[in-house]
A and B are shown apart, each in its own frame.
Chain A
């Protein structure tokens, strides 16, 4: 496992030469910090992976949602569950979708730690989307692919 993540770090270093926008996320402390920094905004956290077809299909819908509402108190966080062998596809995918903000790559060694921190009722199916109000309270859990209009109607509930 150590060799795998050394390889991952090497690949990410290469990625970072081109983009500083993909960060590793490997602990619940780091995740809490990300959530805390988003307080004051309606937050949508999307768990996805390049190997997940429905995730890839809804990704552009979420990018559009972010661009339409980022100036209106909305924050979007993508957390990729790609594994080391998927990394070479990840950066090109982000570039092709014009992602110009920080996204995260899970490096949790135990998937259960991440899953249970986010939602104890979540079995780990992706795409999974979690929506938090401006106080950081989890208000909506969405499992499966959705359209722009679905996401929009959910976040508008909590935006002013």
Chain B
């Protein structure tokens, strides 16, 4: 009788755990540890980087999305400025339609001061629940998500009026809780394999 109870219960617990792991992660949730390769083959590990950063700014990125490209005129300088304040920046490319060569060429062309990690089979996008580009997750101590959403309210610099990512980083830098933890904007769907 014990066997008849324990096995189904164990299966149910496993099923629930698996289901929960596939739900999107929100501010306050914990990101799972992972390691991805930059386009040049260098490996980057989340846990190790969190341990030595104020927070990690993860940006789901694309070589083609028209909502990403306008940010190329300022994302590099922004990353350099906030790297000086202890933040680490990573771009992640989860698009099945964009090859490693595409990512490398795009990164070199834009002279990014941050790695662009290739998320083969959109594993990390699935773990976080990312759906589009650009989409940002700021991950702090203990892998807790501190901010999720947009860089700003407009892809064009001249029309930006709300600098949501910057505001979040400024609050984290001052050891304050992020006021606006979640924001939304339109973007290109991540081109998943599934």
A-B contact count (CB 8 A): 59
Number of contacting residues on A, CB 8 A? Answer: 25
Q: Mark A90-121, 1 if CB is under 8 A from B, else 0.
A: 00000000000000000000111001100000
Which B residues from 33 to 81 make CB contacts under 8 A with A? 64, 66-67
Q: Which residue of B lies closest to A115 (CB)?
A: B184
Q: Is the interface of B mostly helix, strand, loop or mixed?
A: loop
The 4 closest A-B pairs by CB, nearest first: A125-B132, A51-B66, A125-B131, A125-B189
Would you call B184 and A123 a contact (CB within 8 A)? Answer: yes
Interface residues of B (CB under 8 A from A): 64, 66-67, 131-132, 135, 149, 153, 155-156, 159, 161, 183-192
Contacts of A47 in B (CB 8 A): 186
Measured CB to CB, the closest approach of chain A to B133, in angstroms, equals: 9
Contacts of A52 in B (CB 8 A): 66, 188
Measured CB to CB, the closest approach of chain B to A141, in angstroms, equals: 11
Taken together as a complex, chains A and B put the C-alpha atoms of A1 and B161 apart, in Å, by: 9
Measured CB to CB, the closest approach of chain A to B92, in angstroms, equals: 15
Would you call A49 and B131 a contact (CB within 8 A)? Answer: no
Contacts of A143 in B (CB 8 A): 131, 189
Measured CB to CB, the closest approach of chain A to B122, in angstroms, equals: 12
- Select which of A112, A126, A127 is within 8 A of B183 by beta carbon: A112
* A136 is an interface residue with CB less than 8 A from chain B: no
